[in-house]
Amino acid sequence: MTAVATGVRRRAATPPGRLRLLSVLVVLALVALWVTALGATQTRRHAIDTLTKDSGASFIAAQSLRAELWAADATAARAFLAGGVEPPGQRAAYARSIAAAGDRVVDLARAGGPRQPLAVLCAQLPVYTGLVERARANNRLGLAVGGAYLRQASALMRDTILPAADALATADATDIDHGYRRASSWHQVFLVGAVGAATLAGLVALQVRLFRRTHRILNLPLLAATALTAIILGLTLTAFGVERGRLVESRDHGYVPMTLTAQARVLALRAWGDESLSLVAHGNGVELDEDARAAAARLGYDDRGRRSGTGVLPATVALRGPDGPARAALEPAWRGYQATSLRVGNLVSDVGGFQQAVAVALGEGTTSFTRFDDASEAVFTTSRTRFEARLSAAGEALNRLPLGATVALGLAAALAFVGIQLRINDYR
């Protein structure tokens, strides 16, 4: 180390030696800027890629799985109300929901989600469908035990299967929050800006020094190197800004409304399923009625369809963004269903009104709820599409940076070296 220090001091003792040391420092500064910019870009691109292909896709699958499971359970109960001959449409809807749930489980397994919830889903879904088929078979024969099988299936769904799906969605939501933070970290922007500013300051100071010592002759290669460095620094910081803006759009107009809409749909399906199971119990499902009211309260409404304060559905409707009108339509659709549900409850309480209550539930109740469910699914799909599209656009904002920074800063280093070498040659 002493020999190296001595050599450096010896070189620094002469003007050409000092210029050679300055050329090394300038090149090292440009390399540091390249490494910093490239590292920040790659970190952000990797975070976006993970959001798009891993945690984001897994979260969408988990939310769809939750909705399909609730839909299957509610539809099975609703079809059971029809008696021995189930409506073909509702039987087909149940089959579609179960098939879609199975597909989502496969998607989640491929995405490498937590093993324990996936193991529960793989093991218990066949048990659930088996119980539903037993309930149907006994119902067709007019045996009361069919209702017991249906309640057992629903208990398995709510107590075991759905919590596993919720665990998957929660894990993915945590990963998404972490991914957004990594992809939009201000620390990386600050570091690139600081290194870039220091590099530019060094280049400008060097040019001023040479300008004064060479009778005010501009060093064109150094000037070009400085311009290239300033341009690529500006483009890099601009690209980071554009990327962050698109990430914010993806979160605020995609991820957040998608999450809230999924929660609202699940709560609505829960209330609808509770009503059906309560009717299967011939109006004796007090706990189910209470659970339906609790689900409605979490949505933000009392059992008469009036707003009861803050809730998931009012929060969904209040979100700003391009899908505002579609989200606003969810509230009257839900109130329409609740009005029918209130009528069903009143008929159950009336003496001799049970059969009419079942008829209203199967007719107007199913129609009004389907209207809400279809609308919420459409909003979820639109938000999911925007979430994916803006994530893709955020990644595209960074695609050209690695090559651009490599070429520009490599050329800047070469020009700086040439510019300083020209001044060294003046001493020969």
Pair of tokens at residue 210:
């040479």
| Mean pLDDT to the nearest integer, 140-148 | 83
Q: What are the pLDDT digits (tens) for 199-226?
A: 999 999 888 877 777 666 677 888 999 9
Residue 393 has pLDDT above 90, yes or no: yes
CB atoms within 10 A of CB 103: 14
Whole-number pLDDT of residue 11? 54
What is the spatial distance between Cα 390 and Cα 316, in angstroms, rounded to a whole number? 20
What's the chain's Rg over C-alpha atoms?
33
Whole-number pLDDT of residue 282? 77
Over the chain, what HEC string results?
CHHHHHHHHHHHCCHHHHHHHHHHHHHHHHHHHHHHHHHHHHHHHHHHHHHHHHHHHHHHHHHHHHHHHHHHHHHHHHHHCCCCCCCHHHHHHHHHHHHHHHHHHHHHHHCCCCHHHHHHHHHHHHHHHHHHHHHHHHHHCCCCHHHHHHHHHHHHHHHHHHHHHHHHHHHHHHHHHHHHHHHCCHHHHHHHHHHHHHHHHHHHHHHHHHHHHCCCCCCHHHHHHHHHHHHHHHHHHHHHHHHHHHHHHHHHHHHHHHHHHHHHHHHHHHHHHHHHHHHHCCCCCHHHHHHHHHHHHHHCECCCCCECCCCHHHHHHHCCCCCHHHHHCHHHHHHHHHHHHHHHHHHHHCCCCHHHHHHHHHHHHHHHHHHHHHHHHHHHHHHHHHHHHHHHHHHHCCCCHHHHHHHHHHHHHHHHHHHHHHHHHCCC
Whole-number pLDDT of residue 90? 81
> Which CA distances in Å does 360 have to 57, 317, 355, 366, 383?
39, 28, 9, 8, 33
Q: Phi and psi of 301, rounded to 5°?
A: -140, 150
Q: Which long-range contacts (CB under 8 A, 24 or more apart) does 278-283 make?
A: 278/348, 279/81, 279/344, 279/348, 279/357, 279/358, 279/361, 280/77, 280/80, 280/81, 280/147, 280/150, 280/151, 281/147, 281/151, 282/354, 283/348, 283/349, 283/354, 283/357
User: What is the residue whose two structure tokens read 């070429």?
Assistant: 407
- pLDDT over 70 percentage in the chain: 93
In the Cβ-directed half-sphere of 391, how many Cα atoms lie within 13 Å? 25
Whole-number pLDDT of residue 325? 87
Whole-number pLDDT of residue 358? 87
What value does the mean pLDDT of the chain take?
88
Closest CA to 98 of 73, 119, 72, 121: 72
- Kindly report which listed range (104-108, 144-148, 362-366) carries the lowest average pLDDT score: 144-148
Q: Which amino acid is at 157?
A: M
What is the spatial distance between Cα 68 and Cα 380, in angstroms, rounded to a whole number? 13
Whole-number pLDDT of residue 9? 54
Q: What are the pLDDT digits (tens) for 261-297?
A: 999 999 999 999 999 888 888 767 788 889 989 999 9
Residue 68 has pLDDT above 80, yes or no: yes
**Which position has the higher pLDDT, 9 or 22?**
22
pTM of the predicted protein model = 0.86
The answer to whether 92 and 68 have CB atoms below 8 angstroms apart is no
Angle (CA) 351-356-358 rounded to 5° is: 110
Pair of tokens at residue 370:
């389907």
What is the spatial distance between Cα 248 and Cα 381, in angstroms, rounded to a whole number? 19
Maximum average pLDDT range among 72-86, 105-119, 387-401: 387-401
Residue 181 burial (CB < 10 Å; 0-12/13-18/19+)? exposed
| Mean pLDDT to the nearest integer, 145-174 | 92
Q: What are the pLDDT digits (tens) for 411-428?
A: 999 998 888 887 776 665
What is the spatial distance between Cα 387 and Cα 278, in angstroms, rounded to a whole number? 38
Whole-number pLDDT of residue 53? 86
* Confidence band, pLDDT 50/70/90 cuts, at residue 194: very high
Beta bridge partners of 301: 307
Whole-number pLDDT of residue 215? 66
Residue 85 has pLDDT above 80, yes or no: no
Whole-number pLDDT of residue 14? 65
Domain borders along the chain are 1-426
> Which CA distances in Å does 5 have to 10, 13, 25, 26, 353?
9, 12, 16, 19, 100
What is the spatial distance between Cα 265 and Cα 3, in angstroms, rounded to a whole number? 74
